[in-house]
């Protein structure tokens, strides 16, 4: 599991930066939406470009690309969706 958290934090460095830029351009409601939707895709694309060979390491530990992607999306959704709900409740 330690290897997954290393992958997760590496992906989310790019994810958070991209999500903040999107939120600045479109409004604060887009921050949690971006964090749990297309932000991880941007992070995974950057990871593929810069750390492509690292996927062999994860595969040897039993993590496929699909499993890593689903786990990242699930963790980000668990973190971001409550903030989105709180924001929408306070806004209305």
Neighbour-count burial of 63, counting CB atoms closer than 10 A to its CB (0-12 exposed, 13-18 middle, 19+ buried): middle
- State the residue range of the domain holding 55: 2-91
Joined together, the tokens standing for residue 2 give 């330690």
Give the count of beta carbons closer than 10 Å to the beta carbon of residue 21: 12
What's the pLDDT score for residue 81?
86
Structural domain count, the chain: 1
Q: For the CA atoms of the chain, what is the radius of gyration?
A: 14
Tens-digit pLDDT profile for the chain (92 aa)? 899 999 999 999 999 999 999 999 998 888 888 988 889 999 999 999 999 999 999 999 999 999 999 999 999 999 988 988 898 899 87
| Closest among 29, 31, 39 to 72, alpha carbons compared | 39
pTM of the model: 0.86
């Amino acid at each position: 599991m330690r290897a997954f958290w290393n992958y997760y934090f590496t992906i989310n460095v790019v994810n958070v930066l991209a999500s903040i830029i999107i939120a600045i351009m479109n409004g604060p409601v887009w921050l949690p939406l971006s964090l749990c939707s297309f932000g991880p895709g941007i992070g995974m694309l950057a990871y593929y470009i810069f750390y492509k060979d690292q996927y062999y390491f994860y595969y040897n530990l039993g993590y496929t690309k699909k499993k890593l992607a689903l786990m990242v999306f699930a963790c980000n959704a668990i973190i971001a969706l409550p903030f989105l709900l709180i924001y929408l409740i306070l806004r209305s």
